[in-house]
């Protein structure tokens, strides 16, 4: 699975971060600021795979925001990290958006958002809560999370929901194969899904409206926010009905606990992977679950094989149904910051991007002088382009005025 904007250095840093979840690694100093005299900061994030591509795109857009002027030099391409004044009617050093009475939300310091390789929502949150502790792991500014806060999270975190998603069940069709077991099935009830993933009472597609053939259950890796949320929806461990030999972390005997939002193991599974359940065709017998946003952006297709999302209780995973919550397995996606720990809380640069009055959430943002389009409209266009759905303006919580996030403090 290819990830954009990640070099070898970031991959190596990520190895250290993952190790930090499992055990201590030597402390690492922050990289120097690009221009310390201007206060430029790196804003580093790790965690969810589901929201990785979206946060890369949003981070890139923020990095590219015009920002402010710190010297009236007249230089067309400043060499010190400052920016140009896109309002030539105002002399001096004022940021262009302050002329309109807007004092935040346009990355005045040219801070740099930096998304590290995904390790899963739960692992990202563990890294964030440990970050900066002596002898443990390097500094991380935020965690990408596709799950909400839960009882295992410590006090002091702030979960900022900034987009809507859903986790429909997904079946797989092969157009080269006629009358596959899952072909007739387009809707399942919550009870039927519980029977497939948790209670193991539904083991054949003919029991839930399909053609005869064993149901091959697949689930996502531990630490995945998508798995944790789906498990909550179905009321139990979604790996329960997978045979022990197919969830022992050994690919040699047909592993069915796979990386979230990745259908390749299902498309590429062999007859040998299927024989423990006595079926000659893995694709048309398989069921999994998938982020709607990731599916919208990149529907899983391989040759004649493709993934097909299903309805739940007769309701399809459309934007209207997901935003309203009518689709039963709808969810929010989050960024998480350190808000009220004894030390190491999110600094002003992090809050300028994430918090209730920051760039991703604020009810009022300036116009992008490069495009003539308001930054909020551009943010929503990016969220939609990645398959997710923005919130309407509304109450955010945590004492902030109305805006475009929904905030929960632990």
Closest CA to 165 of 325, 354, 315: 325
Strand 157-166 to 406-409 pairing: antiparallel
Residue-by-residue DSSP string for 54-74: HHHHHHHHHHTS----S----
**What pLDDT score does 366 carry?**
81
Q: 376 — phi, psi (to 5°)?
A: -65, -40
Residue-by-residue DSSP string for 201-216: ---BGGGGTS-SSB-E
Tokens read off for 298: 């990149």
**What pLDDT score does 272 carry?**
73
Query: Does the predicted TM-score (pTM) go above 0.85?
Result: no
Fold match flag (8-165+332-409 vs 168-328): yes
Which residues of the chain carry a pLDDT beneath 70?
1-40, 66-106, 108-109, 132-138, 276-280
**What pLDDT score does 344 carry?**
87
Assign 147 to helix, strand or coil.
coil
How many angstroms separate the Cα of 15 from the Cα of each of 19, 20, 53, 128, 143? 6, 9, 20, 15, 16
How many angstroms separate the Cα of 116 from the Cα of each of 27, 53, 131, 247, 277? 18, 11, 14, 28, 39
Domain spans, the chain: 8-165+332-409, 168-328
For residues 102 and 358, is the Cβ–Cβ distance under 8 A? no
Q: Which fold has domain 8-165+332-409?
A: D-Maltodextrin-Binding Protein; domain 2 (3.40.190)
> Which one-letter DSSP state was computed for residue 195?
H
**What pLDDT score does 109 carry?**
66
First to last CA, the chain: 33
Q: 257 — phi, psi (to 5°)?
A: -100, 105
pLDDT digits (tens, 9 = 90+) for 41-82: 789 999 999 999 999 999 999 988 765 544 444 433 444 444
Domain 168-328, CATH class in plain words: alpha beta
Counting Cβ atoms within 10 Å, is residue 91 exposed (0-12), middle (13-18) or buried (19+)?
exposed
Alpha-carbon span 134 to 118, nearest angstrom: 24
Assign 18 to helix, strand or coil.
helix
**What pLDDT score does 348 carry?**
85
């Amino acid at each position: 699975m290819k990830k954009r904007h990640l070099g070898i250095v970031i991959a190596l840093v990520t190895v250290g971060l993952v190790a930090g979840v499992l055990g201590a690694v030597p402390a690492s100093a922050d990289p120097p600021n690009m221009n310390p005299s201007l206060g430029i900061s790196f804003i580093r994030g790790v965690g969810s795979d589901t929201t990785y591509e979206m946060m890369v795109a949003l981070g890139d857009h923020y990095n590219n925001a015009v920002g402010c002027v710190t010297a009236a030099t007249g230089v067309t391409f400043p060499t010190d990290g400052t920016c140009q004044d896109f309002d030539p009617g105002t002399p001096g050093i004022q940021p262009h958006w302050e002329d309109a009475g807007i004092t935040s939300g346009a990355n005045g310091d040219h801070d740099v958002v930096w998304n590290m390789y995904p390790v899963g929502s739960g692992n990202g949150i563990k890294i964030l809560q440990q970050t900066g502790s002596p002898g443990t792991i390097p500094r991380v500014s935020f965690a990408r999370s596709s799950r909400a806060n839960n009882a295992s999270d410590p006090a002091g975190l702030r979960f900022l929901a900034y987009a809507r998603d859903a986790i429909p069940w997904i079946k797989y069709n092969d157009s080269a194969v006629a009358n596959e077991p899952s072909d007739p099935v387009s809707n399942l009830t919550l009870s039927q899904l519980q029977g497939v993933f948790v209670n193991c009472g539904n083991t054949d597609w003919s029991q839930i409206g399909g053609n005869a053939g064993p149901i091959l259950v697949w689930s996502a890796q531990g630490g995945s926010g998508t798995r944790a949320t789906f498990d909550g929806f179905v009321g139990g461990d979604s790996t329960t009905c997978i045979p022990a030999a197919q969830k022992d972390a050994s690919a040699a005997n047909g592993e069915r606990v796979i990386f979230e939002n990745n259908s390749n193991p299902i498309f590429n599974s062999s007859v040998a992977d299927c024989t423990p359940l006595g079926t000659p065709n893995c694709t048309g017998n398989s069921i999994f679950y998938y982020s709607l946003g990731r599916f919208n952006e990149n529907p899983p297709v391989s040759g004649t094989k493709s993934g097909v999302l299903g309805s739940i209780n007769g309701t399809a995973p459309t934007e209207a149904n997901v935003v309203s919550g009518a689709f039963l397995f709808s969810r929010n996606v989050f960024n998480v910051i350190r808000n009220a720990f004894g030390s190491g809380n999110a600094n002003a640069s992090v809050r300028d991007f994430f918090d209730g009055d920051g760039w991703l959430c604020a009810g009022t943002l300036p116009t992008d002088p490069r495009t003539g389009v308001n930054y909020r409209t551009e943010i929503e266009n990016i969220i939609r382009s990645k398959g997710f759905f923005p919130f309407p303006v509304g109450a955010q919580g945590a004492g902030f005025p109305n805006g475009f996030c929904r905030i929960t403090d632990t």
